[in-house]
Amino acid sequence: MYRERRIARVTILGGGTAGWMTAAALSRSFGDSISITLLESEEIGTVGVGEATIPTIHWFNELIGLNEADFLRATKATFKLGIEFVDWTAPGQRYFHPFGQYGAALPGVAFHHRWLKARADGLDLPLSALSLATRLAVEGRFAKPQGDTRSILSTLGYAYHFDAALYAAYLRKLSEARGVRRIEGKLRDVERHADSGFVTALTTERGERLAADLFIDCSGFRALLIDGAMAEPFEDWSHWLPCDRAVAVPSARTAATTPYTRSTARAAGWQWRIPLQHRTGNGYVYASAQIGDDEAAATLLANLDGEALAAPRFLRFVAGMRRRPWRGNVVAIGLSSGFLEPLESTSIHLIQSGIAKLLTLFPERDCDPALADRFNQLFARDMDGIKDFLILHYHATPGRQDALWRHCQTMSLPPTLQARIAQYRRTGRLMLDSEELFREASWLAVLDGQGIAAEGYNPLADTLDPATNRAQVQQFAQVVARAAPTLPLHDEALAALLEPAA
């Protein structure tokens, strides 16, 4: 009886990163107790960018049982220790947003308050000196984190850069080996139940009928089920995040690969540089109100560090989200649910976070609306938090004069972000909720990196002996500086993992 209520068939519409990540995760988690079909159209194709990730990717890779060396080889991946931001606060200025943490976890007073107090007591030491990931990035080195908290390596975090098209192909192979049925073709119609409004089947242009109990909309910006069939509106955030276009081009690899993404501010947006084993990914994310496509492409091509390997490709988007990505028996995952530009490489994270929520809240055939409500609340919380973090980057740019930046410097901020900046300025506190994606180190890196200085610190830090506190903070920076040169160069670390074991 209970089993009859179980979902037996799932259909996924779309075979981009979102579609194949979902297929890989569901097939791994449910085995053959659920039959999974994926419909995609080679003619329509995928967005196919999306090459930089954040450390939460490890959770997903473990979930699907991925072997790291296989994955690195198959997707031409490199390691990522964070993002270097160039020219954001003002031309000529740069800072690093590292994965991992600043300082050590000492009892009582958080390390960054110890640092703020040491600075107030006269210690001239930049925040960056307290991050091993930052130091390794500067030196082009890489090491993986280690669990032992007595080791400086425990302060590291890492993610990957990879070729998105190869990643989707890799996940497809895994998924098909686990029984996922792939249908090539274009969607023609969506059938819905007259009373419940639930989707009952998709039909293809060739006439196949794909019936299921649950439908996952991974159709990208087209959002064919969540928007097309379920008419869930899109909340537009472009007044806060005005960039709405990107032009992307791969270029030849010229030197050693850097273990980080670079993001360089430009007149009408910013340019990414993502090193892979076989090429470098580049793109200019820009506001079409400020610059034309031709000028954006010319700017990008003039700022490559190797020969362009293809013609520039243009993409259009709008920042924003759907408040109810789960409606009835349709769950939108990926670009169909919303989009935040790639400044902090969060889209693939949002896909896996959608998958994690779906697994936790996996419904029965009736698709209990309480489960959908919960999913939608958690999704909105993720999106709102990331949105605030991105807006901070655009807003705290006092030395940039172009129209885009002027607009962002003076625009009214979401109240949550405004309050956070004010609190940090006054007391050095970051005021994070326990579930927020970007943690203390990330906010600290960007606030401090973009010139927002904390005037105070937690009064608890005044209970520390000033000289001892200064010495401890300084000592940590010395440990970082001594450890970095003992660790391998990034390409060596990568090669060691890629080589088959002797």
Contacts of 384 (CB under 8 A, 6+ apart): 414, 416
- Binding range to ligand FAD, per CB under 6 A, among 44-52, 227-235, 406-414, 492-500: 44-52
Show the binding pattern over residues 299-328: x = contacts ligand FAD (CB under 6 A), - = does not: ----------------x-x-----------
Contact of 342 with 282, CB cutoff 8 Å: no
Element (H, E) at 500: none
Q: Is 41 in the site for ligand FAD (CB under 6 A)?
A: yes
Q: Is 476 helix (H, G, I), strand (E, B) or coil?
A: helix
Q: Which of 76, 80, 117, 357 is labelled catalytic?
A: 80
CA distance 257 to 80: 10
Show the binding pattern over residues 100-139: x = contacts ligand FAD (CB under 6 A), - = does not: ----------------------------------------
Q: HSE, CB side, 13 Å, CA atoms: give it for residue 35.
A: 8
Q: Is 348 helix (H, G, I), strand (E, B) or coil?
A: helix
Interface of this chain with ligand FAD, residues 379 to 438, rule: CB under 6 A: none
Q: Which of 7, 10, 12, 17 binds ligand FAD (CB under 6 A)?
A: 17
Q: Which amino acid is at 412?
A: S
Q: Is 374 in the site for ligand FAD (CB under 6 A)?
A: no
- Beta-strand (E) ranges in 64-180? 78-80, 82-86, 94-98, 159-161
Q: Is 37 in the site for ligand FAD (CB under 6 A)?
A: no
- Give whichever of 60 and 111 is closer to ligand FAD, judged by the CB atom: 60
CA distance 456 to 314: 46
- Binding range to ligand FAD, per CB under 6 A, among 14-22, 75-83, 228-236, 475-483: 14-22
- Binding range to ligand FAD, per CB under 6 A, among 47-55, 85-93, 110-118, 125-133: 47-55
Q: Is 173 in the site for ligand FAD (CB under 6 A)?
A: no
In 3D, which of 207, 278, 295, 282 has the Cα closest to residue 250? Answer: 282
For the bound state, the minimum distance from the C-beta of residue 348 to ligand FAD, rounded and expressed in Å, comes to 3
Q: Is 342 in the site for ligand FAD (CB under 6 A)?
A: yes
Q: HSE, CB side, 13 Å, CA atoms: give it for residue 65.
A: 11
- Give whichever of 313 and 365 is closer to ligand FAD, judged by the CB atom: 313
Contact of 97 with 157, CB cutoff 8 Å: no
- Give whichever of 58 and 365 is closer to ligand FAD, judged by the CB atom: 58
Interface of this chain with ligand FAD, residues 252 to 291, rule: CB under 6 A: 283
Q: Which of 23, 36, 49, 321 binds ligand FAD (CB under 6 A)?
A: 49
Burial of 501 (0-12, 13-18, 19+ CB in 10 A): exposed
What is the residue-wise DSSP string for 225-264?
A: IIIIIT----EE-TTTS---EEEEEEE---SSPPSSEEEE
For the bound state, the minimum distance from the C-beta of residue 264 to ligand FAD, rounded and expressed in Å, comes to 15
H-helix segments, 132-243? 132-139, 164-177
Whose structure tokens read 């640092």? 115
Binding residues for ligand FAD, rule CB under 6 A, total: 36
Q: Is 80 one of the catalytic residues?
A: yes
CA distance 314 to 308: 15
For the bound state, the minimum distance from the C-beta of residue 341 to ligand FAD, rounded and expressed in Å, comes to 7
Q: Is 39 in the site for ligand FAD (CB under 6 A)?
A: yes
Q: Is 19 in the site for ligand FAD (CB under 6 A)?
A: yes
- Give whichever of 52 and 464 is closer to ligand FAD, judged by the CB atom: 52
Q: Which of 229, 335, 464, 480 binds ligand FAD (CB under 6 A)?
A: 335
For the bound state, the minimum distance from the C-beta of residue 244 to ligand FAD, rounded and expressed in Å, comes to 10
Phi and psi, residue 287, nearest 5°: -95, 120
List interacting residues with ligand FAD (CB under 6 A).
Answer: 14-19, 39-41, 44-47, 49-53, 164, 186-187, 218-220, 222, 224, 246, 283, 315, 317, 334-335, 342, 345, 347-348
Catalytic residues: 80
